Structure formats: C-alpha cells, structure tokens
Structure 1
C-alpha cells in the first residue's frame, strides 16, 4: 500500500501551515487565499500539543532568535551616546549612513542564504550566524574611526542576516495546522525578549560603565548563546517537511506568491528602522531623557511587543491574519503621529508602548501569511525576500530620515511613519476584501469552523 508523504498527509487533514495541499481538489490559488484569511475557532487552537522534538526545535530556534535580535539593537542604542560625545558619529546623517550600508549588505546575504540554504543547513547556519554577531560586537569598541565602526557594524549585519530566512523557515517546515500560528508567535516573542534585554542592559551599562562595556558583554553572550542553541538543537537537524532538496528554488514563483505582501513588509521595516535609529535620539535629545531612562522606555516598547507576539494566535483566530494587519497598522498610525507631535515625556513613553504592541502584532501575522502562500522548496527564499523588503524600507527611509531630522527636527520621521501606516491600513482592508471575494468556502475540517 502506497503511503502519502508526510506533508501531503497533513495537507489532506487540513493541518499544514504552508502551501502544500497535495490531497485537495481546490485550485492552488484559491487554497492559498483560503489558508491566509480563514480565521479558526479560538477554543480549538490550543487543544493540539507539540511533541518532544517540536518543543526541542522551537526552544533552540528561540535561543538563536533571542541573541540574534539583541545584537541588531545593541549598536543603535549606543549611537546617541557617540553622537553626544562627538566620537565617531558627528551628525544624524552618520547614523543614517551606517544603517544604509549595513542593511544593504544584509540584502545581499539574505538572497545568498535564501537561495543556497537547505534543511540540512539550518542548524549550522544559525550557529555560525549568531557566533559571527558576537565576534563583531566584541570588536566594535576597538574602532578608532568612522570607517572602522562601519566595518564592524557590517560584520554584525552579516551575522544577523541568517536567522530570519533560516530560523523562520525551519519553524514553518516543522509546524502545521493549529500549531503554526502558536509556534510563529512564540519564536517572535523570544526575538522581542532579546531586543528588550538589549535595550535595558545596554542603556544601563553604557551610562554607568561606558559605551564599550555593553558591546563586550553582548558579544560574549551571543557567543555563549550560539553554543547553547547548537547543543539544544542536537537531534533536530534539517526540517521534517523540507520537500525535495534537489529541486531548485524559483525566485519567479516566490515573487509572484508574495507580491500582495510587499506593501506591509516594506512599511513594517520602515517602522522598525525608524524606532531603532531615531527613538533613542528623540527621547534623549528632544525630550531630555537620560540614556538609562531611554533604555527603559524603549524596553517598554519591546515588552509590549512580547505581549503582542504571545497573544497573536488568539487575536488571529478571531479576526484573521489580514485583520491583524489592519488592526496593527491602524494603531501604529495613530500612536506615531501623536509621538511626532508630543512634547511630554510621560505621554510619549505611553504612546511608544502602544506603538510597540501594534507594530509587533503585525510581524507574526505577516510571517504566517508568507508561510501559507510559499511552496516548500521556496520557503527559505520567501522569508529571505520578505526580510529584504523590510530591509529596503528600513534602509531607504532611515537614510532619508537622517537628513529630515537635521533639517526639521528629530520628530519628523515619526510623522512620516504615521502617514505611511494609514496607507497600509487601508491597503490591508482592500486586500482582505479582494481575497474574500475570490476565496471558495473553507472546507469542513474537524475542529475548525467553516
């Protein structure tokens, strides 16, 4: 008796998080739309349990994500202090230039990793990525010129370019059905925890011991985290549902499958980049917050994001993944416009927390939409593409925002972000209506409401 492949068997049962649906008679284009927009019953989502291997894999991926994302924000948190001291960074435009060059390098490495990486490479690639990040963070305090600072920052960006195409793809290959949204939310939350730790720890250490100490501390922690993730992921090499690894990645298929997600991906990158690059300066220079308090406020931003990631699967079950995008960007628009207008530190701190919850709620929604619409062979490439779209938005608008801040004030980027977020919210509403019009009725699957 012939047995169905594992991915096809899960698809036939309505449990696959990605786009393979080998047992279905519904046209593929309809299946992708259906998987992306159909909300599931809230009371059924948390009844399915992870097995021991899935828990181990998710734990290892989460460890890698913690240190990867912590590294991404450690240096930008130091930038205002370097600007204040006029050491290495002398203009806001220097911050924009650093971000632009580093993120441009990330684009190249994302494409390389997305095209080349297979399931058997996931574990060693994640280890090497986080280890590289730790090495260059450790070296950064030895920079004696802006050029050396740029070089070390590029090294950090190279190492941090591995996780999002590889780690997220590993989760997508290994979880399906009701566990898909849960796993995506959990790994997103751990990345947010890393950012939170970096905000709080970096600000405190920099103010009390000097700007070089947090870079040495995080460099050592990233190296330790790389080895911890390697040990924890032992026995979980590759992906259970990675498809035929001899089949070549098709970038054309990947782009066509993800074309409707370009706008939210780009503006999500813009929002992240503006907050990382300019919120510290907004708080420190415009509102007079000391660097330690700045770290606490930005820690509140990401702490709200942790809560958003952990509650994502419940919210998506009620309003759907596109509904989450609409809700998140609507709240982002309101909060960032008010941040740009506010001159009160306490009010700004509260608005930044709301902004964090709203923006970071959209990230797991975007990733699950990507995983639902990408073919198995193209998933790593799809996450690479989305990460690069976020980087493009991040790099271009952060670069422009440096000159805008020099000309009109450090609050200007937040006003621009508010306007962009309004556009994305209306775009997501239109996209949701369009896909509901073309989607067939969802199948009757046990435990899922039609």
Structure 2
C-alpha cells in the first residue's frame, strides 16, 4: 500500500513539474511581444491604441478557443494536447521574425494565441484531477507561479537580447525554448488520458449542470484578475517610460520585480489556506490589489515608490489566480463534478477581462492618458473584493472552514 501511494505521488509530482514548465513556456511566449512594446512603438511606428488592438484581439482568440479546447480535452491525452499547443506557439514565435508592420504583428499574435489556448483548460484541469485538499491549493499555486516565472524571464532578457542580436535573433532564441518544451512534453507526459468526469451524465442533464457549476462570481473574479494583470504587463513599461522617464530595460526591470512578487504571492497562499478560508483570502487579495494599483497610479512618476506599489500589486493580484481556481474546484466538488470544461470557461473569463481592458487601456491612454486606465483598474479590483465578500455570505458559514491536511 505504501509503495502504491509513493508511486501515485511520484506520478502526480511529475505531472505537476511538466505542467508547470508548460505554463512558464506558454505565458512567457505570450508576453514576449509585450515586453518589447516600447521598442515596437518606435520600430514599427504604431500608436498606443494599436497596441491596445493587438492586445485585445490576441486575448479574443483565447476567449473563443479555450472553451473549445476544454470541451475537446475531456477523456483525451493531455500530454499530446499540450504539445500541440506548444508546437503552434513555436511556429508563431518564428513568424515574428518576418513582421514588417501592424498587420503582420497582429497575424503573428493571433497564431500565438491559438497555440496558447491549449494550456489553461488542459493543464489546470490535469492538476485539479491529480490533487485534492490543501495539496490542490499548493499545486495550483506552484504551477501558477511558474507561469509568472516564464513571464519574468522574458521581461528580464528580451530587451538585452534585442540590443545584442536584434529583432530576429530575439525571437529565434525564444522559439528554441518553446521547441525544447514540446520535446519534453511528448517524452514525459504523453500517453496519459484525462478522466472523463461527465460520462455518467445524460445529455438532458448536462446543460443545467454546466450552468450550475459556473456561478457569476467566478466569471467576474476571473474578468477582474485577468484584466488587471494584462493591463500591468502590457502597459506598465510604457507608463513608466513616460511618467518616470525610464528606458525599456529599466522599466522592464521594475515589471520583472512585479512578476517575481506575483510568483511569491501565488505560492504563499497555498500555506495560508490552512488557517484562513480560501474565499476570505480571495476577498482580502482584491482589496489589497485595489489600494496598491491606486497608489501606483499616483506615484508612478517616482521610480522607487512606483516599484514598491507595483510589488504589492503583483503579490496580491497573482494570489487571486490560484485562490479562484481552488475555490472553483471546491465548489465543483460540492456539486459532484470536476470538468476541464469549467476551467476552460474560467480561463476565458480571465481573457475576456484582459481583452476588454487591454483595448480600453489603449483607447483611453491615447486620448486621456494611461493614468486614467490604471485608475479604472483600481476600481475594478475594489469591486472584486466586495463581490468576494458577497460570495462568502451566499455560501454560508460552512465555506469559512479552512482546508485541513
């Protein structure tokens, strides 16, 4: 019995490590262009509003395809599906080498987002089915942090790489990274099959069950988290460049620190759920994020104060990701269903927020300034904290019991 449990633990850990690596590759590739936006503005002579269009349409692709992938992934080999997504990402990263202007950049981003639509519904559902209880929260935090690690590496290295090897060389280097991950995924993760959680449901009972498993609160929380994180990653380096007069490497260094603290925030919440209920931590995280984004907007002209407030934002807003997924997983467990379809819808909620706020930030900043965009984000985070409090109230006292090992 002990050896069987050890084998299961080893298998679960291998899945966790590979899915986490996939998350790093997926998110790092997605934000590679974002880390170079200050350069893109000058190199391709595009406006901040056009940057907003690129951001919004890229996320729109995820909105459309993540639920499709989530539906298709049930009962299929997650390793192969993840490898397919990574392969498309590799091709898209190479396509940036041949970009000549706004339209070609947009085409490459659309292809990139097609590939990135595989990870969240497939990878996160795989983790959810491999762990339970406090270990689920820790695992969600771990893999979420690796997504941040991938983005961190991109923001730290992209500008120096551009200065060293130019535009084409930068994207060739990152294409090699994604290709290596494809090989690792096919080698160590392929051959598993996702449990089909909906097999026992009849067609007539399926649709009501699906509606019941995604309460509006989770969609709203995903919208706010995804939108806030996207605005910061896509526009903070531009904002710091104009307000604090920093070059792209300096601005990216501050954004990298934001991402590092985001990784810490995603991991740290795993241990806290033993003492504080997941939904309470979620509400607190949104309220802290609201205050810190507002402070960042006010103090963005001072590099030191902007850095401090952005670090707090990174910690708090990133914590909402694993907390939301864990709270959803707990809810799905309480109604007797676990589904990649549900996680795909939640991921789409995050990308809807990223798409809408990305486009809005580009438009608003073009005419009113980015400080207005960041101010709106602060208000939305406040809405997230209040809505989480109402969710706690609706779930009753039983939802206030912390996870116990």
Same fold (TM over 0.5): yes
Distance 1:244 1:92 in 2: 45
Maintained 8 Å contact 2:67/2:121: no
Which residue does the alignment assign to 2:381?
421
Which residue does the alignment assign to 2:20?
62
Distance 1:305 1:68 in 2: 17
Distance 2:8 2:305 in 1: 42
2:62 to 67, 85, 106: 106
Offset, 1:275: 0.8
2:127 to 171, 184, 191: 171
Q: Residue 238 in 1 paired to residue 193 in 2?
A: yes
Offset, 1:277: 1.6
Q: Residue 148 in 1 paired to residue 104 in 2?
A: yes
Offset, 1:244: 5.4
Q: Residue 209 in 1 paired to residue 169 in 2?
A: no
Q: Residue 436 in 1 paired to residue 396 in 2?
A: yes
Offset, 1:334: 0.8
Distance 1:253 1:71 in 2: 35
Q: Residue 81 in 1 paired to residue 39 in 2?
A: yes
Offset, 1:298: 1.1
Q: 1:441–1:420: structure 2 CA closer, same or farther, 3 Å change rule?
A: closer
1:72 to 13, 24, 30: 30
Which residue does the alignment assign to 1:397?
357
Please give the TM-score of this superposition, normalised by the length of structure 2.
0.91
> Root-mean-square deviation (CA), in Å?
2.3
Maintained 8 Å contact 1:137/1:156: yes
Maintained 8 Å contact 2:134/2:273: no
Choose 333-342 or 281-290, whichever is displaced more. Answer: 281-290
Distance 2:293 2:167 in 1: 29
2:256 to 292, 299, 314: 299
Q: 1:332–1:141: structure 2 CA closer, same or farther, 3 Å change rule?
A: same
Maintained 8 Å contact 1:203/1:294: no
- CA deviation map 1:217-270 (0-9, x unaligned): 1111011112112222256x124x543558569454233222131221111111
Q: 1:133–1:144: structure 2 CA closer, same or farther, 3 Å change rule?
A: same
Maintained 8 Å contact 1:188/1:309: yes
Maintained 8 Å contact 2:262/2:319: yes
Distance 1:68 1:441 in 2: 34
Offset, 1:62: 1.2
1:188 to 144, 159, 177: 144
More helix by share: 2
Q: 1:314–1:216: structure 2 CA closer, same or farther, 3 Å change rule?
A: same
Q: Where does 1:250-289 land on structure 2 (aligned, <5 Å)?
A: 250-259=206-215, 260-289=217-246
Q: Residue 411 in 1 paired to residue 371 in 2?
A: yes
Q: Residue 344 in 1 paired to residue 273 in 2?
A: no
Distance 1:368 1:362 in 2: 10
Distance 2:95 2:181 in 1: 18
1:93 to 49, 57, 79: 49
Choose 253-262 or 271-280, whichever is displaced more. Answer: 253-262
Q: Where does 1:112-131 land on structure 2 (aligned, <5 Å)?
A: 112-131=68-87
Uncovered stretches (5+) of structure 1, i.e. residues with no partner: 1-47
Partner of 2:77: helix, strand, or coil? Answer: helix
Q: Where does 1:308-347 land on structure 2 (aligned, <5 Å)?
A: 308-342=265-299, 343-347=301-305
Offset, 1:94: 0.2
Q: 1:359–1:421: structure 2 CA closer, same or farther, 3 Å change rule?
A: same
Offset, 1:141: 2.1
Q: Residue 225 in 1 paired to residue 181 in 2?
A: yes
Which residue does the alignment assign to 1:372?
330
Uncovered stretches (5+) of structure 2, i.e. residues with no partner: 1-5
Q: Residue 136 in 1 paired to residue 92 in 2?
A: yes
Which residue does the alignment assign to 1:29?
none
Q: 1:130–1:321: structure 2 CA closer, same or farther, 3 Å change rule?
A: same
Partner of 1:119: helix, strand, or coil? Answer: coil
Considering only CA atoms, is the larger Rg found in Structure 1 or Structure 2? Answer: 1
- CA deviation map 1:148-179 (0-9, x unaligned): 11111101000001100000000111112332
* Structure 1 runs (4+) greater than 3 angstroms displaced: 241-252, 375-378, 439-443
Distance 1:381 1:53 in 2: 24
Choose 114-123 or 215-224, whichever is displaced more. Answer: 114-123
Partner of 1:238: helix, strand, or coil? Answer: coil
Partner of 1:289: helix, strand, or coil? Answer: coil
